[in-house]
Amino acid sequence: MGQTKKTEVRSAILRSARTLFSRHGYTATSLPKIAAGAGTSTANVYVYFRSKLEILYELYDPWLRARIEALAAEAATIGDRRARLTHVLGTFWRDIPKENGGFG
């Protein structure tokens, strides 16, 4: 299998997982459903990822890192330490779960 094909299959798995996690949540999404959505077999998913959790990390990590960087920039503008901490914690507990990246 060529490198392009491997990249396409891996990308298809991630697209399928993102769609299913967003629509049904992480817990209700199975590897066979992810595989079917990607047009591949469940066994082939394991060629690219060790587990469903690894797929979640692959999808969630860039989103979370970007959100943390944005939050750090926002927090840097708040002079009072208590207000800064309140803002950071409030964002993590109140705002981030509302965003689509939460896959709840």
- Amino acid at position 67, single letter: R
Residues in the chain: 104
Tell me, which fold does domain 3-102 have in CATH?
Tetracycline Repressor; domain 2 (1.10.357)
Q: What angle do CA 9, 11, 14 make, to 5 degrees?
A: 110
The region of weakest confidence among 3-12, 83-92, 93-102 is 93-102
Q: How many helices and strands (H and E) does the chain possess?
A: 5, 0
Q: Render pLDDT for 72-93 as a digit per residue (tens, 0 to 9).
A: 999 999 999 999 999 988 887 7
Q: Tell me the C-alpha to C-alpha distance, in Å, between residue 45 and each of 42, 48, 94.
A: 5, 5, 34
Q: What angle do CA 20, 44, 37 make, to 5 degrees?
A: 25
What are the residue boundaries of the structural domains of the chain, listed by start? 3-102
* DSSP one-letter code for 15: H
Q: Render pLDDT for 37-58 as a digit per residue (tens, 0 to 9).
A: 999 999 999 999 999 999 999 9
